[in-house]
A and B are shown apart, each in its own frame.
Chain A
Amino acid sequence: MRFNARVEVGHQPGILDPQGATVQRALPALGYDNVSEVQIGKSIRLVIDAADEATARRQVEEMCEHLLANPVIETYEVFLSEMASDTSAQKSSG
């Protein structure tokens, strides 16, 4: 089975986010003075082959623990969806 995996990496509470802070300060200049929080993280997309969804999720979570995120300062969330089988057939025949 082939899965689309999206990993959202954010900041642990209390970790500084200069990009978010700068964007938040800029938004009132556009007229949006009603934004009280901006956080900028990373979105990492993977295509992964695995026997089932649980295996795919476990492997992506291991990747997060060991490389994609630093748990001391970052949070991560994994979103998985199975890719349509005809998509993979098209790719392999391409």
Chain B
Amino acid sequence: MNGSADRPPIRVVLAKLGLDGHDRGLKVVARMLRDGGMEVVYLGLRQTTDTIIDAVEQEDADVVGISMLNAGHLTLGPRMVEALADAGLDVPVVIGGIVPDEDRPAMANAGVAGVLGPGATAEEVVACVRAAADARD
């Protein structure tokens, strides 16, 4: 399940975008993804689209995971997607945190590859990130 022998593990850059300091969920997700066989580049708090893009380029990441519990997802989520596209990077963005169901279509329209809400299991988290990475191929 954790990636076939001929495929390198999925590399995921995880970050908190913006001022929000709630990092419990992101840390749990980092460990879930590691336990799920992925490589995690954990940037931590107070990242900008620029610092995230730098990390994606340097680490050759397959997926960007950003966590937001500050109700800023409608502004910052699409901004991250656009910034990656502007940098010429075809890397999907998964958002975790508190995203009301009614906002999910807007997130999908903005190009966000996946949304993980409170209570997502380790299997769901891993599957969501894997699906985002696979959709890119």
* A is bound by B: no
Tell me the A residues contacting B by CB distance below 8 Å: none
